[in-house]
């Protein structure tokens, strides 16, 4: 995993690769759709972005999709990322670059808002499902083609995509992602101070008696 990717995001990206291509090892970065990478002239990770974008023109027809790499980047996605990030097209799509690009996609989909508690787990899950078709939505919602139920792909009904992982598994991973940030736990509220006890009551003066009373008069004591 590229060292610039935060620990929580790294956990999620490893999970995305395994869900999308069935593995999360080094070889996962060379996968293309339908595991047709063996038909390539050279490994995907030794190809430049420009070479891959050019080759992807025919992949949809020949392989069924242009999805490439551990995160299954579509041709349009790679082109869009290249424009947005100012990539020249000469960079090799090696594992580190794939990680950085995928992390950028996470941020696009609300990773930072989710980590800050500004969007719910279900909302972030839906956004992930919009980016990666193998992910399920975590609550019923309007999908691309129709209303979809919890556990279905956002793209259910397109004749191509379906969720490959259970929603409970995604929820558990998202919980792990938050735990891995290293953020300080929310401090417990301070315990209320105990109510002050009543001040001690002065004892009532005792009867001093005749002689003590006389001494007080003589020496001017009150």
- Domain membership flag for residue 72: yes
Q: What is the pLDDT of residues 61-100, one digit of tens each?
A: 888 899 999 999 999 999 999 999 999 899 999 999 999 9
Ramachandran sector of residue 14 (left: φ over 0; alpha: ψ -120 to 50; beta: rest): alpha
CA 205/CA 113 separation, integer angstroms: 71
- Domain membership flag for residue 176: yes
Instruction: State how many domains the chain has.
Output: 2
CA 50/CA 88 separation, integer angstroms: 8
Please say if the pLDDT value at position 102 is more than 70: yes
Share of the chain above pLDDT 70, in %: 82
- Domain membership flag for residue 218: no
Task: Give me the domain span that covers residue 149.
Answer: 117-181
Check residue 152 and give its pLDDT: 97
Query: pLDDT band for position 199 (50/70/90)?
Result: very low
Average pLDDT over all residues of the chain: 86
Share of the chain above pLDDT 90, in %: 75
Q: What is the pLDDT of residues 146-159, one digit of tens each?
A: 999 999 999 999 98
Same domain as 101, residue 141: no
């Amino acid at each position: 995993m590229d060292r610039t990717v935060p620990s929580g995001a790294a956990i999620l990206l490893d999970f995305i690769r395994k869900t999308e291509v069935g593995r999360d090892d080094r070889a996962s970065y060379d996968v293309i759709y339908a595991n047709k990478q063996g038909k390539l002239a050279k490994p995907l990770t030794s190809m430049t972005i420009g070479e891959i974008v050019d080759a992807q023109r025919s992949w949809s027809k020949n392989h069924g999709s242009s999805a490439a790499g551990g995160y299954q980047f579509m041709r349009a996605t790679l082109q869009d990322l290249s424009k947005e990030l100012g990539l020249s097209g000469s960079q090799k799509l090696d594992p580190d670059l794939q990680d950085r690009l995928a992390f950028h996609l996470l941020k696009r989909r609300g990773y930072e808002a989710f980590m800050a508690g500004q969007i719910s787990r279900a909302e972030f899950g839906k956004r992930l499902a919009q980016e990666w078709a193998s992910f399920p939505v975590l609550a019923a919602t309007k999908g691309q083609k129709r209303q979809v139920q919890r556990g279905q792909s956002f793209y259910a009904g397109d004749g191509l995509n379906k969720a490959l992982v259970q929603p409970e598994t995604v929820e558990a991973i998202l919980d792990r992602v938050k735990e891995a940030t290293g953020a300080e736990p929310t401090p417990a509220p301070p315990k209320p101070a105990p109510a002050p006890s009543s001040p001690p009551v002065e004892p009532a003066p005792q009867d001093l008696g005749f002689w003590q009373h006389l001494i007080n008069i003589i020496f001017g004591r009150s």
